[in-house]
C-alpha cells in the first residue's frame, strides 16, 4: 500500500508535466486510487477535511491580497513610483536600476503578486532603461529579479498558502520573512552599484537637464504623492500585523480597501476598472482554491495509503540526517520550480515532506521561509523561470532571450547566497 502511495505521487507529477489540469489531476487521480485501493468507509473522513479547508479563516486573506495587488496594478502606482524614484537616484550610475529594485520591493510589500509586478515593471521601466543606454542584460535581470520579491516580502500569497499547509501562523511567517526579504533588496542594490562603478557605459546616470525638468514642476508634491499613500498602505497592512493589532486576514481586508482608496486618489477608479479587478480576482482565487481542494484530496489519500509513514521509514533506514534531508528537499523544490508553478509545489510536495520535518523536530517556521526563498529562486532560473517568461512576453523586440539569461545569473547567485545565509544562520528569521 505504501508503494502505491509513491506511485500515486509520481503519476500526478508526470500527468502535470504532460499538461493535464493541476486541480483535476490532483483530485481526480487521488479519488481513482482511493476507489481501487482503500476501504470505502475511509471516504467518510474526506468531506470534513474539505469543509475544514473551505472554512479556514486564514485563507480568506488570499482573495483579499489578490484583489489588493490587482487593484494597485490598475492604479498607476508603479508609474509614479518609478518616475519619482528614478529622479531621486538619477545622478548615480545605475540609479535607474536601483530605482527599479526599490520600487519592486515597495510593490512586493503592497501587492505580493509576482506576475503582475514583473509585467507592469517590464512595460514601464524596460523601454525607459534601454532608451537611456542601459545594457539589456542588466535591465532585464534587474526587472525580473525585483518583480519576484513579492514571493518573500510580506504580505505574500505564497506565505499565506505555506502557513496553511505547514500549519504555522501566517503572521509569524510574515515577521520571519521580513529580514531575508530586505537582505535580498540590499544585496541587489550593492551588486548594481558595483556593476555600474566598473561599467558606467552600461548603467549611465540621467542627464542634469532631465533632473532639472522634473524638479521644476511641483517637485515635492510629486514625491509626497508618489510615496505617502503607498507607505500609509504598507504601514496599515504590515504594521498592523507586526504590532499584533490585526490578523493577516483582517490586515488583508484593510489593504484591499486601502488599494481601492489609492486607486481613487490617482483618478483611475471607475466601473470598468472595478469590473476588471473583480473578474481577475475571482479567476485567480477560484484557481487557487480548486487546486487547494484537489491537494487536500491528494494529501488525504496519500496518507491513508501510508505514504507518509513509508517516506519517514525510508529516511530513517537511509540514515539521512535532518540537514541532509533538508538539502534533498531544497534540491527537489528547486528543480520542480523549473516545470510547475509555486502553487502546485506548495500543495503537492510540501504536505508530503512536512511530517518528516516534524519527525526530525525541525522548526516549520524556518522551513517556510526556506521554501519561499527557494520558490523565488526557481522563478528566476533559466530556461524555465516563470518571471523570465512574463518579462519576455512584454519586452521590446531588441531584448533577446540570451539577454534575459545573462542578466539573471548574478541575481540568481545572490538568491542562492541569501538562501545559504538563512540555512546557515536560522536566527535571522527571529530578529523581529
pLDDT, tens digit, 9 for 90 and up, residues 139-166: 888 888 888 887 888 877 788 888 888 8
User: Residue 221 pLDDT > 80, yes or no?
Assistant: no
| pLDDT for residue 191 is more than 90 | yes
Mean pLDDT, to the nearest integer, of 15-31?
80
- Residue among 238, 224, 233 at smallest CA distance from 263: 233
Query: What is the pLDDT at residue 339?
Result: 65
Only one residue has cell 496518507, namely: 303
Question: Within a 10 A sphere around the Cβ of 402, how many other Cβ atoms?
Answer: 11
The confidence band for 192, taking pLDDT boundaries of 50, 70 and 90, is very high
Tell me which of 115 and 31 has the higher pLDDT: 31
pTM, full prediction = 0.79
Domain total for the chain? 1
Confidence at residue 383, expressed as pLDDT on a 0 to 100 scale: 63
Using omega within 30 degrees of 0 as the cis cutoff, is the peptide bond preceding 155 cis? yes
What is the mean pLDDT of the segment spanning 73-88? 74
Between residues 86 and 418, which one has the greater pLDDT? 418
Rg (CA), the chain: 22
In terms of average pLDDT, the best of 44-58, 266-280, 311-325 is 266-280
pLDDT band at 114 (very low <50, low <70, confident <90, very high): low
- Residue 184: pLDDT band by 50, 70, 90 thresholds? very high
- Mean predicted lDDT score pLDDT of the chain: 81
Q: Is the pLDDT of residue 112 over 70?
A: no
Is 140:115 a contact under the CB 8 Å cutoff?
Answer: no
Average pLDDT over residues 211-231: 70
Q: Which three cell numbers stand for residue 335?
A: 528543480
* Structural domain that includes position 411: 2-430
Specify the range with the lowest mean pLDDT, choosing from 35-44, 72-81, 100-109, 345-354: 72-81
Whether the Cβ atoms of residue 54 and residue 21 lie closer than 8 Å to each other: no
- pLDDT higher than threshold 80 for residue 113: no
Is pLDDT of 186 > 90?
yes
Amino acid at each position: 500500500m505504501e508503494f502505491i502511495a509513491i506511485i500515486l505521487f509520481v503519476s500526478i507529477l508526470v500527468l502535470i508535466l504532460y499538461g493535464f489540469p493541476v486541480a483535476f489531476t490532483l483530485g481526480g487521480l487521488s479519488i481513482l486510487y482511493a476507489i481501487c485501493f482503500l476501504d470505502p468507509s475511509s471516504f467518510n473522513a474526506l468531506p470534513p477535511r474539505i469543509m475544514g479547508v473551505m472554512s479556514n479563516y486564514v485563507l480568506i486573506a488570499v482573495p483579499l491580497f489578490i484583489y489588493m495587488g490587482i487593484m494597485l496594478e490598475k492604479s498607476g502606482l508603479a508609474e509614479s513610483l518609478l518616475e519619482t524614484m528614478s529622479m531621486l537616484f538619477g545622478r548615480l550610475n545605475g540609479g535607474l536600476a536601483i530605482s527599479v529594485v526599490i520600487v519592486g520591493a515597495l510593490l512586493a510589500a503592497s501587492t505580493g503578486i509576482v506576475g503582475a509586478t514583473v509585467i507592469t515593471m517590464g512595460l514601464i521601466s524596460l523601454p525607459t532603461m534601454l532608451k537611456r543606454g542601459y545594457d539589456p542584460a542588466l535591465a532585464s535581470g534587474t526587472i525580473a529579479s525585483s518583480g519576484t520579491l513579492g514571493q518573500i516580502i510580506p504580505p505574500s500569497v505564497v506565505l499565506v498558502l505555506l502557513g496553511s499547509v505547514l500549519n504555522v501562523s501566517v503572521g509569524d511567517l510574515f515577521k520571519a520573512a521580513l529580514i531575508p526579504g530586505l537582505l535580498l533588496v540590499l544585496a541587489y542594490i550593492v551588486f548594481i552599484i558595483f556593476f555600474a562603478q566598473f561599467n558606467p557605459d552600461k548603467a549611465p546616470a540621467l542627464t542634469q537637464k532631465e533632473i532639472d525638468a522634473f524638479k521644476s514642476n511641483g517637485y515635492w508634491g510629486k514625491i509626497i504623492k508618489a510615496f505617502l499613500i503607498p507607505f500609509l498602505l504598507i504601514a496599515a497592512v504590515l504594521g498592523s500585523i507586526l504590532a499584533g493589532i490585526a490578523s493577516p486576514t483582517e490586515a488583508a481586508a484593510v489593504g484591499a480597501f486601502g488599494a481601492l482608496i489609492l486607486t481613487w486618489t490617482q483618478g483611475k477608479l471607475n466601473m470598468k476598472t472595478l469590473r476588471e479587478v473583480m473578474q481577475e480576482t475571482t479567476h485567480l482565487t477560484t484557481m487557487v482554491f480548486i487546486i487547494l481542494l484537489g491537494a487536500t484530496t491528494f494529501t488525504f489519500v496519500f496518507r491513508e495509503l501510508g505514504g507518509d509513514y513509508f517516506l519517514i521509514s525510508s529516511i530513517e533506514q537511509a540514515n539521512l540526517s535532518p540537514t541532509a534531508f533538508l538539502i534533498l528537499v531544497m534540491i527537489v523544490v528547486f528543480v520542480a520550480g523549473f516545470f510547475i508553478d509555486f502553487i502546485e509545489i506548495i500543495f503537492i510536495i510540501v504536505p508530503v515532506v512536512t511530517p518528516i520535518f516534524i519527525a526530525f523536530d525541525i522548526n516549520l517556521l524556518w522551513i517556510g521561509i526556506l521554501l519561499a526563498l527557494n520558490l523565488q529562486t526557481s522563478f528566476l532560473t533559466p530556461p524555465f523561470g516563470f518571471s523570465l517568461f512574463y518579462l519576455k512576453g512584454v519586452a521590446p523586440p531588441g531584448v533577446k532571450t540570451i539577454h534575459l539569461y545573462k542578466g539573471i545569473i548574478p541575481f540568481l547567485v545572490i538568491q542562492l547566497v541569501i538562501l545559504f545565509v538563512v540555512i546557515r544562520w536560522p536566527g535571522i528569521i527571529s530578529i523581529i
